[in-house]
Amino acid sequence: MLSYDTPVSMNGQSPTSTTNITATRQAMAPNTPLKVSMPADKNMNSNTTAFGLDVHPAHHHIWLVTGPAGCGKTTVATHLAKALGIPYVEGDEFHTAESITKMSLGQPLTDEDRWDWLTRLREEALKQLALGHDGVVVTCSALKRKYRDVIRVAPYFSPGLQVHFIYLDAPEEVLQQRVAKRQGHYMGAGMVHSQIAILQPPMRDEVDCVTIDVSRSGDEVCMDALNQVVTKLAEDQ
CATH of the domain at 80: 3.40.50.300
Tens of pLDDT along 4-32? 344 444 444 433 333 332 333 333 333 33
- The per-residue pLDDT for 131 is 95
Q: Is residue 149 part of a domain?
A: yes
Give a yes or no: residue 136 inside a domain.
Answer: yes
Q: Which of 52-56, 61-65, 171-175 has maximum average pLDDT? A: 61-65
Instruction: Give the CA distances from residue 232 to residues 55, 69, 228, in Å, rounded to whole numbers and listed in that order.
Output: 10, 26, 6
pLDDT for the residue numbered 5 = 45
User: Considering the domain boundaries, does residue 164 fall inside one?
Assistant: yes
Please indicate, yes or no, if residue 20 is contained in any of the structural domains: no
Instruction: Quote the domain boundaries for residue 191.
Output: 65-235
Which residue type, as a one-letter code, is found at position 133? H
Q: CB–CB of 36/83 below 8 Å?
A: yes
Residue 86 belongs to some domain of the structure: yes
The Cα 40–Cα 23 span in angstroms is: 39
Residue 42 lies in a domain: no
Rounded Cα–Cα distance for residues 16 and 18 (Å) = 7
Of the pLDDT bands very low, low, confident and very high (cuts 50, 70, 90), residue 186 is low
Phi/psi for 231 (5° steps) reads -60, -45
Is 59 a member of any domain? Answer: no
**165-to-45, 201, 231, 237 alpha-carbon distances in Å:** 31, 11, 14, 20
Please tell me the distance from the alpha carbon of residue 147 to that of residue 124, in angstroms, as a whole number.
16
Residue 16 covered by a domain:
no
Confidence of residue 189 (pLDDT cuts 50, 70, 90): low
Indicate if the pLDDT at residue 39 is higher than 80.
no
pLDDT value, residue 187: 63
Q: State how many domains the chain has.
A: 1
How much is the pLDDT for 71? 94
